[in-house]
Amino acid sequence: MGTNNQDNVSLSRRGILNGLGGVMATGALSQLLCRPAAEAAAVPANPAGITGFPEFPAKAKRVIYLFQAGGPSQIDLFDHKPLLEKWDGKDLPKSVMGGVKFTGMVNGQSRFPVVASRWKFARHGKCGAWVSELMPEFAKVVDDVCFIKSMTTTQVDHDAAITYIQTGHQIAGRPTIGAWAAYGLGSECDDLPAFVALRTKEGGSFLIDRHWGSGFLPSRYQGIRIGGSDREPVQYLSNPESISDAMRRRTIADIAALNRDHRQRVGDPEIDTRIAQFEMAARMQMSVPELADFSDEPAHILDLYGPDVREPGTYAYNALMARRLAERGVRFVQLFQGGWDQHSNLPKQIEQYSAYSDRANAALIQDLKQRGMLDDTLVIWGGEFGRTVFCQGKLTKMSFGREHHHLGFTMWMAGAGVKPGFTYGQTDEWSFHTVENPVPVHDMNATVLHQLGIDHKHLTYRLQGRDFRLTDLAGDVVKEILS
Amino acid sequence: MPSQYFIFGIVRVCCVVSLASSVYADVDFNRDVRPILADNCFECHGPDAESREADLRLDALEEAMGWVIEPGKSNESSLIERLLSDAPDAVMPPPHSKRRPTKKQIQILKDWIDQGAEYERHWAFAAPITRALPKTVNANWPRNPIDSFVASHLDAESLKPRHDAEPRVLARRLSLALTGLPILPNEGNAFADDFQRNPDQAISSLVDKLLASEAYGEHRAWYWMDAARYADTNGYQADGHRVMWPWRDWLIRNLNANLPFDKLTEQMLAGDLMIPKEHQHWQSADWIADDRSRDYLIATGFLRNHRYDTGSGTIPAESKFENAADRMETVATVWMGMTMLCARCHTHKYDPIENREYYELLSFFDNVREAGSALKLASHPYIHTPTQKEQARLKQLQQATDAADAAMLAAESSIAEAQQKWESKVADVVRVPLEEGSVTRSAPKTRVTRGLKFHYAETPLHLDGNTSIEKPNDAIALCAGNRRWTISFWFRPESDKGAAIFSSVEEPERYRQGIQADWVNGKIRVRHVCRWVNSYIEFESAQTLRVGKWHHVTFRCDGRMQGIAYSASIDGSDDAMLCTHPVTNDSADNAGKAKLVLGGSPFLANFSGDLRDLRFYDRELNVSEVRSLADARTINEIARVPVNNRTHAERETLRLAFLEDDSLPAYLRELYNARIAAHAKLDEAIFQSPTTMVMKEGRTKHTQIRLAGVFNSLGDKVATDTPDFLPPLPQEHPNRLALAHWLTHPDHPLTARVAVNRIWQTLWGRGFTDSPENFGTQTGEPLHAELLDWLATEYVRLGWDTKALIKLIVTSRTYRQSSDASEAMWASDPANRHLARGPRFRLPVHTVRDQALFLSGLLDNTVGGPPVIIDDVIGQNGKIVKLPYEMSNHRRTLYTFWKRNSPHPMLAVFDVADRNQCEVRTMRTNTPLQALVTLNEPGFAASAKDLSERAQQAAQTEPEQLGWLWHACTGRIPSDEELRQLQTIRKDYLEIADSNQSQAWTALCNVLLNLDATMTLE
């Protein structure tokens, strides 16, 4: 369905629904949808959540998770360590390093020289949070942000670490955090999926479909990828060449009519679900092009996100898309940015990737705030791990690399009942070991679910005789960061 | 899910009025009680001694009797008292567990105790017994024993079976279930005629025909591929391309040939151990000419289909452990319906599997000669597996080499005569004494001279650990990944200190291009670095070596710029060197410009010891040449071995030396060169042929428990054994072959049940149990347990004849029932657990797609061969992956190139198994994205167009054409009303399409292909 088709643009969503009116039926299940019953099909296309969820009043109705794949360097962005200046170029003391294992990549490296950050740090906002000059715009919104400087993970390699933070287990096969949220809470929206993944086009990364998959949960909970570098915002959204929009509307109606007759004949209620899903597909054909059409955004909003916002697939574009999805009731939006895996030539790359995202991160927070959405939208920024204080490869003033580091790294959150202008936890003066209030991945995930009104221990799925959950057998809500 | 079972289990417990306050009569321990205990109690009172509270076990009840359970007296049993307690510190399960049995469940426990608290083993852990067929009210209904079980059950439930399905619908059902393809209207009509005459006969012959079609094997292969986690890439982060489709073709061939399940098991799990003795001495990358041996080896690809990690961060020991764990867990899931995973870290909470037993079972699978890091295309061990066509060419080339060999053989007497003279001449060379520790040996100059370009340390070079010697780059310049080359040398370390024997390192701080030969951790390590850290080849000796001993090493490359291009040997054996880093990328043609340094490198201490006979060849040496070079003796020493005492290797070495000697007469040289050329051609052809990864047993070693399941936290050594709660392993050498025999032994309680359940699941859309992967204590006894057991024993009785079993199922009256039902019946039994109607389920995606292609006539029904690409495959860098495969949207779905980390998007949204691990459970969701696929995906769109053309050719008049279409898609002749609807649609569409006939027809066919009836097996 072309976005510039006049016929299409003139039709409001409700208009489409009315057009399909003959197809609709009222049904007992319609109350499961948050939308008015009149707009709902007999069987909801989007799954309802688990009865009784959320279990307590949720601070966050939805989540926008800005995932920074590759492992951004906390030392160069947020975790200010003045001591390192004195040690720059000198070997990291053995006492700090201990017997910590790294990947095979630094095997054969005989020296581990400290690299101090090449970027100036300053305190920002009323809260006085440290942010380096790499993130100048973001530095302006720190009073809305809660930093967690004591993140730890157990995994040192990208796929395992991404899989771990996304699913709670390093081995592939479990549902990702967004799929869990969709499974537990269902959707607030009947023309878009409950969990949407947005992948930016910059930056080689380790991101694959599985990283927003539903694992052993039914596939309807998986993250649906919208945008990115695909030709269409959603796979197979456009009609085949020979089928016009008018024809598609008729075919959907006829499929529904014939299926209804068949339902009468054979009695299988699953046919109702099929009818509903075809209607949802047709609604997505309408809603997604409208979603991807930023022409209704005022200029000042577009300016807020920066010039990249006009180019599909950029970080800025996806940040605005995330807000638009959140507005439409999508439960969990996860933006995936790659490129942070800076083993060599870190200075050039970190400047590049900070520039891609700095303004958009700030814009997203401001934009949500001015709409009053920051109160019930949880924004999360972070990657699968951080980077080492020591240099990987050759060290010169402006050329060096950093290895993966899992013992202490930084994430930040904003909105939805998380303490604004707050910093939690800290690493030692080398940004190597976490020395105060460590937050393991399971605790972070438990906290996210908690803000969504879910006790992470109760969100389980029975498989192979065992109740599985996002936090595996661990996880404590980090109450200290909640207001 | 077990809880559902439980609910259905309860249905069978009739409510009675009883004197002894019993609510439920005839409570059955396995069916009714065990699931309650398993769900609520086993976590703390189960098999796991570590987490067991109060030393109380409720999974094995001997100890509980007379303690917490007083048989016959529920009111004196503390089990019940604790369950009913109000006190937070007394109530069980404790409040923090968040578990709470229902009142009904507690009543069942009470009644069970009052009825005597009889208990027996978990239903699936006792071998199935052949029961007498139950009696049925309507003796005319049943067609075979399946029907007797079902009818008797329905009688007991006061249910009636549905009438037979309409014959055309039945024909479509049988065809889709057995071959994954529908049938065309004319065949449906013919079947309907036959059915009128003799239903049983008609069904039987249609089923025979379907079972005999090649499509049968293709269809069933899909389920095996899911179980085998088959994919065309390695998975993990790199997810590089691999070749395993010859295994998939083996599977299709043998499913079609109806290889009995026990034989299939034997070959997939242990084919490598079944090869006739004379063919056992194969090496990785060989072509096994013997058809049977090759097939046995290919079969074991089942155990190599797991994902396999590679890349700069991979830790080989971890990777090997994960591979072995995956093999074991897959076998446990597929054959035993047991989920072993829990026992990896601790004793299983629910099933009687101890932590130790996980590793005992793992021990069958962790002894493979693998490197722990995947190569592109094929990871060791693997063999070349040419296609039929390639085999024909290989046979031709083989004949040419045979002819060339024969010509040499014919000249044997003159060669031998000339060689004898030559030997007496070389035997005159003064012998240099050879002692370990002596450094006075001279290099054997006279052997393997062809292609020798550079030769250093011809006399032994003693390196003192301080000095190093520089040589030009020339020799290193040979060693690019896109050229053929061999490096060969002898070395003898003087200390165990890590050191560089020789190296060439360009840009040490960055890409490190060049060659390195190092002595580290008591092992020899050779590297070809193309671009540090993610593009280099590294081999390491499998074993540690002794200080003070001479060793010979080769490092070879065949110029294909990929992992499999390289090989290395130590002391003449390739198997003794493991590839520990196989990954190269587009930098692989870079040889590096650095000088060759003997005795040193920028990374390690200088070598202390001896180096001699360092050779660089501009070709890849063969195995005999490598062996010849690895023979420490000089040619004259070998020549002095009496002719009759010479070993094969000695004879080969002498012959090679003679043939390459300048003194070889011209006519022999000609024969020899012709022979080399013929062999080179054959080698090249073998190299061009596809490969298959297979199993090859390594040296026996003891498996160790990994504490908390972490690969490098080693615990106690364990024996190779099967879990104690199952029958003992037969008295054989405990290897995979014994395991295969154990699994398919008629006394094994699980294998046949699990296999039958899976077959049933594919035919009915769901199995007897909903957890085909788990027959453990958490899974309640299925409603039709007796039928399942009967089928299991029948499968064994039939000699594991899968086609016979399938025929038995689909020719039953039960399978023949109409799949429609009343509203009430759908409400009371939505999942059709009673079997009071025929199967109805949405077709799996591969069938949905294949059906559309088949109906439209677009289906290319070529069986087997390399995978095909539907759309460009995108790599993790976002770029198109170049693959040597044909692009086609017309082959059956099972041939679609399967990128493990991102299966084709059309399949990904349609519940395909995650081929990252074994998957036997069927997922069937219903989402809008699936609708978008069948509405809009280009292949489905093309099918709609071609289907419309086919319909127009199939009949003359429009009503006939529409009728044909309807019948083709849904399996039914349309009613008059339906035909009228179609005619209206046709007329309206023509109008919407501005009288464009083709568009109107295509849209109509798009509708028909998207009907629920079309996408459903009915």
Residue B266 lies in a domain: no
Chain B CB contacts of A248 under 8 Å are 935
Residue B380 lies in a domain: no
Chain A CB contacts of B1002 under 8 Å are 240, 242-243
How far apart are the C-alpha atoms of B930 and A193, rounded to whole Å? 13
Residue B747's pLDDT band (cuts 50, 70, 90): very high
Q: DSSP 3-state assignment of B868? A: strand
- Which residue in chain B is spatially nearest to A234 when comparing CA positions? B929
Of B2, B826, B989, the CB nearest to A269: B826
For residues B575-584, average pLDDT: 83
B821 touches A: beta carbon within 8 Å: yes
**Domain check: are B448 and B490 in the same one?**
yes
Residue B329 lies in a domain: no
B152 touches A: beta carbon within 8 Å: no
Residue A461's DSSP bridge partners are: A468
- For the cut 80, the answer to whether the pLDDT of residue B80 exceeds it is yes
Residue B159 lies in a domain: no
Q: Could you say which of B589, B604, B632 is where a domain stops?
A: B632
CB contact under 8 A, B985 and A255: no
Write down the pLDDT at residue B929. Answer: 87
Domain A49-233+299-481 fold: Alkaline Phosphatase, subunit A (3.40.720)
Nearest-CA distance B664 → chain A (Å): 49
Between these two residues, A12 and B386, which has the higher pLDDT value? B386
Nearest-CA distance A370 → chain B (Å): 34
Write down the pLDDT at residue B437. Answer: 42
How far apart are the C-alpha atoms of B735 and B752, rounded to whole Å? 21
Write down the pLDDT at residue B587. Answer: 58
Q: Residue type for B534, please?
A: N
**Please, what is the Cα angle at A326 between A322 and A328, to 5 degrees?**
120
Residue B360 lies in a domain: no
DSSP code for B729: P
Q: DSSP 3-state assignment of B230? A: coil
B842 touches A: beta carbon within 8 Å: yes
Residue A67's DSSP bridge partners are: A336, A382
Please report the beta strands in B391-498, taking only residues with DSSP state E, as ranges in sequence order. 452-456, 461-464, 469-471, 484-493
Domain positions in chain A are 1-42+241-291, 49-233+299-481
**Domain check: are B9 and B80 in the same one?**
yes
Write down the pLDDT at residue A8. Answer: 32
B350 touches A: beta carbon within 8 Å: yes
B999 touches A: beta carbon within 8 Å: yes
CB contact under 8 A, A208 and B825: no
Write down the pLDDT at residue A171. Answer: 79
Residue B331's pLDDT band (cuts 50, 70, 90): very high
How many domains does the structure of chain B reveal?
A: 4
Q: DSSP 3-state assignment of B849? A: helix
Helix (H) or strand (E) holding B178, with range, is helix B167-179
Helix (H) or strand (E) holding A193, with range, is none
Nearest-CA distance A138 → chain B (Å): 28
Chain length of chain A: 483
Q: What is the dihedral of CA A454, A458, A464, A470, to 10 degrees?
A: 40
Nearest-CA distance A104 → chain B (Å): 5
User: In this predicted model, what pLDDT tens digit does every residue of B974-995 receive, in sequence order?
Assistant: 999 999 999 999 999 999 999 9
Mean pLDDT score across all residues of chain B: 89
**Domain check: are B640 and B526 in the same one?**
no
What's chain A's Rg over C-alpha atoms? 24
Chain B CB contacts of A176 under 8 Å are none
Write down the pLDDT at residue A462. Answer: 83
CB contact under 8 A, B926 and A257: no
In degrees and rounded to multiples of 5, residue B633 shows phi and psi of: -80, 155
Least confident of A97-101, B302-306, B547-551: A97-101
- Which residue in chain B is spatially nearest to A345 when comparing CA positions? B510
- For the cut 80, the answer to whether the pLDDT of residue B340 exceeds it is yes
Give percent above pLDDT 70 in chain B. Answer: 94
Write down the pLDDT at residue A101. Answer: 65
How far apart are the C-alpha atoms of A138 and B774, rounded to whole Å? 51
Nearest-CA distance A376 → chain B (Å): 28
**Domain check: are B51 and B11 in the same one?**
yes
CB contact under 8 A, A243 and B239: no
Residue B64's pLDDT band (cuts 50, 70, 90): confident
Nearest-CA distance B1004 → chain A (Å): 8
Least confident of B225-234, B331-340, B737-746, B867-876: B867-876
**Domain check: are B14 and B92 in the same one?**
yes
CB pairs under 8 A between A and B: 226
Write down the pLDDT at residue B44. Answer: 86
| Per-position DSSP letters for A67-102, written without gaps between them | EETT---HHHHT---THHHHHTTSBPPHHHHTT---
Give percent above pLDDT 90 in chain B. Answer: 62
Chain length of chain B: 1018
Cβ contacts of B696 within 8 Å, gap of 6 or more:
B272, B284, B368, B369, B381
**Domain check: are B592 and B671 in the same one?**
no
Write down the pLDDT at residue B446. Answer: 60
CA distances from B1001 to B851, B862, B988, B998 (A): 19, 29, 11, 5
- Which residue in chain B is spatially nearest to A457 when comparing CA positions? B98
Residue B558's pLDDT band (cuts 50, 70, 90): confident
CB contact under 8 A, A273 and B533: no
Chain A CB contacts of B917 under 8 Å are 172-173
**Domain check: are B560 and B590 in the same one?**
yes
Least confident of A3-17, B598-612, B807-821, B922-936: A3-17
How far apart are the C-alpha atoms of B207 and A375, rounded to whole Å? 64
Write down the pLDDT at residue B17. Answer: 35
Residue B315 lies in a domain: no
- For the cut 50, the answer to whether the pLDDT of residue B20 exceeds it is no
pLDDT along chain A (483 residues), means of 10: 32 33 30 31 63 92 96 97 94 84 62 92 96 97 97 89 94 91 89 88 74 83 73 84 94 96 93 88 90 93 94 92 95 94 88 94 97 97 96 80 93 97 96 96 97 95 81 93 94
CB contact under 8 A, B992 and A268: no
How far apart are the C-alpha atoms of B209 and B190, rounded to whole Å? 14
- For the cut 80, the answer to whether the pLDDT of residue B133 exceeds it is yes
Cβ contacts of B416 within 8 Å, gap of 6 or more:
none
Q: Could you say which of B646, B671, B686 is where a domain stops?
A: B686
How far apart are the C-alpha atoms of A184 and A214, rounded to whole Å? 12
Nearest-CA distance B749 → chain A (Å): 19
CB contact under 8 A, B906 and A159: no
How far apart are the C-alpha atoms of B118 and B489, rounded to whole Å? 74
Of B774, B820, B999, the CB nearest to A266: B820
User: In this predicted model, what pLDDT tens digit does every residue of B403-454 receive, in sequence order?
Assistant: 999 999 999 999 999 998 888 877 544 333 344 444 344 444 567 888 899 9
Nearest-CA distance A209 → chain B (Å): 6
DSSP code for B273: G
Write down the pLDDT at residue A205. Answer: 61
- Out of A467-471, B298-302, B611-615, B632-636, the most confident range is B298-302
**Domain check: are B540 and B572 in the same one?**
yes
Cβ burial of B544 (10 Å; 0-12, 13-18, 19+) is exposed
B187 touches A: beta carbon within 8 Å: no
CB contact under 8 A, A240 and B938: yes
Write down the pLDDT at residue B445. Answer: 54
User: In this predicted model, what pLDDT tens digit does every residue of B683-698 receive, in sequence order?
Assistant: 889 988 999 999 999 8
Q: Could you say which of B632, B666, B694 is where a domain stops?
A: B632
* Token reading at B78: 């503390």
Interface probe for B, chosen from A191, A251, A275 (most Cβ of B below 10 Å), is A251
Structure-token match 């967690």, residue found: A148
Range of the domain at B422: 396-431+634-686
**Domain check: are B100 and B31 in the same one?**
yes
